[in-house]
Chains A and B, each alone.
Chain A
């Protein structure tokens, strides 16, 4: 059931209040779609993870979303906001009377978690009753916010590809991959709600997080009792509160308080290198060595150049604790000792750091990563060019394919007509326009109709849909004559270009 005090009439761009007066006369259907457009000049993110629609449907769109009180509240509000009467009171009252406040809308969507190439339809929206043609684009504002969970899930998965590549290459296996990127983004995100949504999107790909709101969201909206895990960890205040001369006591206390299970200790409050060499590597060395693999100490640097700091730290730790070689011939620290780098991490720096580590002979097993704003905040609607556009209308009972095609920017051109999504004979996903798609091939599924959610997904299913495929893990195994590379894949997609 949608939230009681949320007023959907106030959850749209102001100008949309005035659109019911702007459509052509006798329009009876407005059909729109959402995509992550392709940009010319090659794309960094060539495929996306579809995620987050179920949250919006459950929280804001399903059930009885219109009441007389809400209509009145909106009417009074818009009168003052526009300084004139323009709100379509009658139109909304009809929704109330005819459908008991439920939205006469149909939404068809790709199953959540599915990986779809850019430039394809991801969901479509249409009114199911001719009186409510204006409703389709009224809810655009809210639905376009899908850009966020899609983008976080996509970026998070791109991290996973990089981590998988290095882990496989330097250790021969993918063990522990799901814990390699820890969500540190709670404080750096713009609101509690975004933390929940972004946090949950990261959990499509990983299991480690400190963004508790994401866990709760996954529980309430995607049926997963516990989607992610964490470990006791220090922050600067719990170290510096001991005083500058007592950093060793602060560290030791951490080991005492948390004798079992992994524990992470931020070590750069004053001097990360001295802390590693003299405190961890000397004064507390015995205490560190007695910890088991399941209770490892994870040292956290938090300043300086991310790659250089990490290399220097790992070299100091090698001097103090030694290391061994794994089956691939790369160096691994003793199992009771690991490092987590949680400062300055983004897609570029992660790749760079693991590359440098590998050059120096170190396995990716040694390091975990924490990511904050780059995972949950440093994204916007342009990251994946997310857009919602009208592609088909019916006027006087006749259907018409519509589109925009600005001469000033061809990449902003939109798709035409009724759309469907299918796998073609070469096994590539493509969008079929102009209503010529075959229903039995359509990957889009009705998820919402007339106020009810008719198809749901659990996080478990979503995680399965979004898992990494072999292709990405060992790209060096591609043969030139095997046409499975992503570039070739792109050429077969006949959409986004008119």
Chain B
């Protein structure tokens, strides 16, 4: 039951409050921020609620021991008895420790424009009005899987556009952005959640924890949702000694003859490695590899675009290129490049645009991203927040909201909310209970959790299907 400041809130609501109803959204920014963002993030991928429900909210979450422990912790922490012991004992007795709240949410994987309600939370027992915002802290952490999945999907759109433009198809798109982020996240748990969110859009990952989260909390029809290939790291090259880089390369390539193998080549001099070692000393060894088992050369330092272009130029010279149906250069199928250093959504855009400008097809490269994919994100990126919009006090319902004079962006929605499709196919959030009127069509929010029971779940396949890129997503032209 470790949750923060909500501990004292049960005492702060108006007397005779019998319901507190709150919602979650990724607020739209109405006013221009001082920093002009290159990427707009107009729509977000809803993902991650099922994990939170399963792991933290379902079933019997309160026991007498936990109440006692919490009481002691909070007495020390506040130097006062403010913990709502009676409130929790009530839940223990009446509901056998199950949480009397109801959560309605948009289906997982749904792609929804900013500024719309994504899920609502309300207490189902008049005695437990305070519970709605007790669970806020834990539910707001959904900002993370939403943000990873959204940012990952935006990168998929960029890759799809350029791949289509420079090759005429989208083959292997799902392997073009590989998750390298395991070591760069803040904890094991974050790794699992974040990596699973990336796999909503892609299939290549080295963050094994993500696959475990998907298997445990979502399920797929395939045995695993993500794949990897043998690859070197600096220690497996440098351990051979500076004068034996060629021996290291040769040894590793020979260890993995029938699958793609990625070899980091910048331990000393990436350009020399490409020109002399790969391009000359080991050239025949590489040329004998099949299209299913290419050597993938990995630079790992220097300016990302400059390095990629220079590496392609050298490899192009040493191994020759062909021109594809769109008129772009492609290396022979047994050799490819993966750029896994300094890749974020902005540099990704720069690299594919730079490659296109120099007439290189995106078929030639794959990308790896670590910190930018899984860690360099905050709740502010998509303005994720949880706000109370409706209460019942003295038997009367009241639409409530905040509207700070100094920031119109922070204004919150009012009353009971629902999400609908308009006749033109757009999304709209109806406030103040208006959504219950017949003429507005069905509410897209479904009850997923009530009184400790998960009522609706989604498989990861459904999540992926809901989040897939459609043709209209690629309509933005490629410069």
Q: How many A-B residue pairs have CB under 8 A?
A: 343
Question: Which residues from A are CB-within-8-Å of B266?
Answer: 404, 406-408
Contact B12 A190 (CB under 8 A): no
Contact A190 B407 (CB under 8 A): no
Complex interface residues of chain A between 33 and 88 (CB less than 8 A to chain B)? 60, 77, 80-84, 86
Contact A270 B404 (CB under 8 A): yes
**Residue of A145, A187, A303 with most partner-chain B CB within 10 A:** A187
- Cα of A402 to Cα of B240 in the assembled complex, Å: 8
Q: Which of A211-219, A285-293, A331-339, A485-493 contacts B (4 or more CB under 8 A)?
A: A211-219
- Cα of A77 to Cα of B224 in the assembled complex, Å: 8
- Cα of A240 to Cα of B272 in the assembled complex, Å: 66
Question: Which residues from B are CB-within-8-Å of A253?
Answer: 12, 14
- Cα of A263 to Cα of B251 in the assembled complex, Å: 67
Contact A235 B241 (CB under 8 A): no
Contact A11 B188 (CB under 8 A): yes
**Among candidates B141, B248, B258, B412, residue contacting A187 with C-beta atoms closer than 8 Å:** B141
Given contacts A193-B188, A270-B403, contact A380 B376 (CB under 8 A): yes
A268 to chain B, nearest CB (A): 5
Contact B268 A22 (CB under 8 A): no
Contact A14 B404 (CB under 8 A): no
Contact B235 A30 (CB under 8 A): yes
Contact A213 B188 (CB under 8 A): no
Contact B235 A32 (CB under 8 A): yes
Q: Which of B347-355, B386-394, B447-455 contacts A (4 or more CB under 8 A)?
A: B386-394
B398 at the interface (CB under 8 A from A): yes
Contact B238 A404 (CB under 8 A): yes
**Among candidates A27, A60, A192, residue contacting B138 with C-beta atoms closer than 8 Å:** A192
B115 at the interface (CB under 8 A from A): no
B44 at the interface (CB under 8 A from A): no
B197 to chain A, nearest CB (A): 10
Given contacts A137-B233, A406-B266, contact A212 B73 (CB under 8 A): yes
Contact B391 A269 (CB under 8 A): no
Residue of B nearest to A13 (CB): B206
Question: Which residues from B are CB-within-8-Å of A198?
Answer: 186
Question: Which residues from B are CB-within-8-Å of A377?
Answer: 186, 378-379
Q: Which of B85-93, B297-305, B462-470 contacts A (4 or more CB under 8 A)?
A: B297-305
B152 to chain A, nearest CB (A): 14
Contact B79 A15 (CB under 8 A): no
Contact B182 A141 (CB under 8 A): yes
B408 to chain A, nearest CB (A): 10
Contact B380 A240 (CB under 8 A): no
Complex interface residues of chain A between 233 and 285 (CB less than 8 A to chain B)? 233-244, 246, 249-250, 253-254, 257-258, 260-261, 268-273
Contact A80 B8 (CB under 8 A): no
Q: Which of A162-170, A224-232, A315-323 contacts B (4 or more CB under 8 A)?
A: A224-232
Contact A188 B379 (CB under 8 A): yes
- Cα of A244 to Cα of B405 in the assembled complex, Å: 13
Interface pairs (8), CB distance under 8 Å: A22-B255, A188-B379, A190-B186, A225-B76, A226-B73, A237-B400, A270-B405, A404-B268
Query: B-side interface residues toward A, CB under 8 Å?
Result: 2-6, 8-9, 11-14, 17, 20, 22, 56, 73, 76-80, 82, 133, 136-138, 140-141, 143-144, 180, 182-190, 193-194, 205-209, 211-212, 223-224, 226-242, 244, 247-248, 251-252, 255-256, 258-259, 262, 266-272, 299-302, 307, 370-371, 375-380, 386-388, 391, 393, 398, 400-407, 410, 412
Query: A-side interface residues toward B, CB under 8 Å?
Result: 6, 10-16, 18-19, 21-24, 27, 30, 32, 60, 77, 80-84, 86, 137, 140-142, 144-145, 147-148, 186-195, 197-198, 210-213, 215-216, 225-226, 228-244, 246, 249-250, 253-254, 257-258, 260-261, 268-273, 302-305, 309, 373, 377-382, 388-390, 393, 395, 400, 402-409, 412, 414
